[in-house]
C-alpha cells in the first residue's frame, strides 16, 4: 500500500480512503484516478488478513457438516448458503467431519481461530444433534437438525406438510386407496410424513387403513418386495406414496413387473426430488422436494442478522416442501 501511495504521490492513508470509498473524507476525482492507476500499475491487492486484523471482521462464515458437502444428497444446502454468504460478500469455510467427533472438534477450533463471524452446523438428514458446546462462542444456526431443548435456532424442512402435500396431490387425482411405504429408522421424517398422510386423509374424509401403511428399509430392493405385496392385496391401492425417491425406484420395478402401468393403473409419488433419479425414471417421477437450497439460504440469512448483533430467540424455522410435478400421478 505504501508503494502504491508513493507511486501516486499521496499518503498511504489516502490510498486506503480511495480503496474503501470512505465517505467521511471526500477525495478529488483526480487523486482517485491517480491512486487507481498506481494500484493497477503495481497489481496491488488488499491483504484480507491485515484488514481483518484491524477491523476485527473476518468476513467469513463457517459451515461444519457431517456429510452434506460431500454426498450427493443434500448438497444444494451448500449452494444456498454459499450464495447468501456471497451476497453479503462473505466467504464460506466448509468442513466435512464424516460424523467424527474429533474432526468436528478440530474443525471448530480452526474456524474459531479464523474468527468466523458465525457458524452453521448442518447434517445430511433431518435429525436431533448435540453439537459441541464451543459452538455457542459465536452466532450459530443449525441446518437440517435441532437440539433437544430447542435452545439453538434451527432451519428444518416441514416434514408433516410434505407428507400432507404428497397425499393431497394423490387424493386430488381421485385416489381413495393410497398406500404409504414408510422408512423404518425412527426420525422426524418418518413421523412427520406419516402424520401429514393421516391428516390429509382425515381432511378429505378418507379412512385410514393400517394395512396400506408399510415400513421398510429405504432402498429400492426392499421396497420392491413390499410393493409387490401391496399389489397382491384383494383391494389393492391405486396410488403409492413412497418415503423417498430411491424407494420409488423399487416401486416402479414392482409395478411394471406386475404388468401394470404408471400412472394409469397405479400412481406413484416420491419424496426428496433427487434429480438423478426422479427425472430419469420412466415415467418421470412426481415427488415432493426437500427445500435444501432455500434452507441453506435462510440459515445464512438468519446467521447474518444474528452476527449483526441482533438478539433473537432461538427460532425453529420450518421450510415448506413443495410438490414437483412430473408424470407419475
Partner DNA sequence: CTGAAAGCGCTAACAT
Partner DNA sequence: ATGTTAGCGCTTTCAG
Binding site for DNA (CB under 7 A): 1, 9-14, 16-17, 19-20, 22, 24-28, 30-31, 44-47, 50-51, 53-56
Of 12 and 221, which has the nearer Cβ to DNA?
A: 12
Residue 9, class by beta-carbon neighbours within 10 Å (0-12 exposed, 13-18 middle, 19+ buried)?
exposed
What would the x/- binding string for its own copies be over residues 85 to 124, using CB under 8 A? -x--x-xxxxxx------x-----xx-xxxx---------
List the single partner that 94 binds among DNA, its own copies, none, CB under 5 to 8 Å by kind.
Answer: its own copies
Rule CB under 8 A: say whether 48 interacts with its own copies: yes
In DSSP terms, 323 is beta-bridged to 288
List the single partner that 14 binds among its own copies, DNA, none, CB under 5 to 8 Å by kind.
Answer: DNA
Rule CB under 8 A: say whether 45 interacts with its own copies: yes
Binding test (CB under 8 A) with its own copies, winner from 11, 12, 219, 305: 219
Rule CB under 8 A: say whether 125 interacts with its own copies: no
Residue located via cell numbers 428444518: 156
Nearest to 267 by CA among 227, 209, 229, 220: 227
Taking each helix axis from N to C terminus, what angle separates 292-307 and 76-87, rounded to the nearest 10 degrees?
40
Residue 47, class by beta-carbon neighbours within 10 Å (0-12 exposed, 13-18 middle, 19+ buried)?
exposed
List the single partner that 20 binds among its own copies, DNA, none, CB under 5 to 8 Å by kind.
Answer: DNA
Rule CB under 8 A: say whether 70 interacts with its own copies: yes
C-alpha distances (whole Å) from 284 to each of 149, 185, 212, 249, 276 are: 41, 27, 24, 11, 11
Rule CB under 8 A: say whether 280 interacts with its own copies: yes
Amino acid at each position: 500500500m505504501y508503494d502504491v501511495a508513493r507511486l501516486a504521490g499521496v499518503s498511504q492513508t489516502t490510498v486506503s480512503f480511495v480503496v474503501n470509498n470512505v465517505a467521511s473524507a471526500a477525495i478529488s476525482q483526480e487523486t482517485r484516478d491517480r491512486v487507481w492507476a498506481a494500484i493497477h500499475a503495481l497489481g496491488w491487492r488488499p491483504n484480507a488478513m491485515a484488514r481483518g486484523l484491524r477491523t476485527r471482521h473476518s468476513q467469513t462464515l463457517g459451515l461444519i457438516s457431517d456429510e452434506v458437502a460431500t454426498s450427493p444428497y443434500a448438497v444444494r444446502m451448500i449452494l444456498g448458503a454459499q450464495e447468501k454468504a456471497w451476497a453479503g460478500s462473505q466467504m464460506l469455510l466448509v468442513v466435512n467431519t464424516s460424523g467424527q467427533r474429533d474432526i468436528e472438534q478440530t474443525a471448530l477450533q480452526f474456524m474459531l481461530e479464523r474468527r468466523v463471524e458465525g457458524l452453521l452446523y448442518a447434517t445430511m438428514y433431518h435429525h436431533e444433534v448435540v453439537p459441541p458446546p464451543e459452538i455457542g462462542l459465536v452466532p450459530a444456526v443449525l441446518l437440517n437438525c435441532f437440539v433437544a431443548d430447542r435452545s439453538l435456532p434451527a432451519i428444518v424442512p416441514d416434514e408433516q406438510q410434505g407428507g400432507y402435500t404428497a397425499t393431497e396431490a394423490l387424493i386430488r387425482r381421485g385416489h381413495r386407496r393410497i398406500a404409504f411405504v414408510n422408512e423404518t429408522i425412527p426420525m422426524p421424517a418418518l413421523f412427520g410424513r406419516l402424520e401429514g398422510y393421516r391428516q390429509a386423509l382425515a381432511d378429505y374424509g378418507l379412512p385410514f387403513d393400517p394395512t396400506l401403511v408399510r415400513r421398510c428399509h429405504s432402498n429400492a430392493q426392499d421396497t420392491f418386495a413390499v410393493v409387490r405385496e401391496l399389489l397382491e392385496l384383494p383391494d389393492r391401492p391405486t396410488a403409492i406414496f413412497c418415503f423417498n425417491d430411491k424407494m420409488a425406484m423399487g416401486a416402479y420395478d414392482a409395478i411394471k413387473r406386475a404388468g401394470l402401468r404408471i400412472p394409469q393403473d397405479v400412481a406413484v409419488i416420491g419424496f426428496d426430488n433427487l434429480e438423478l433419479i426422479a427425472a430419469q425414471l420412466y415415467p418421470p417421477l412426481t415427488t415432493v422436494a426437500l427445500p435444501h437450497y432455500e434452507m441453506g439460504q435462510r440459515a445464512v440469512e438468519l446467521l447474518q442478522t444474528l452476527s449483526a448483533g441482533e438478539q433473537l430467540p432461538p427460532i425453529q424455522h420450518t421450510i415448506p416442501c413443495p410438490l414437483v410435478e412430473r408424470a407419475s400421478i
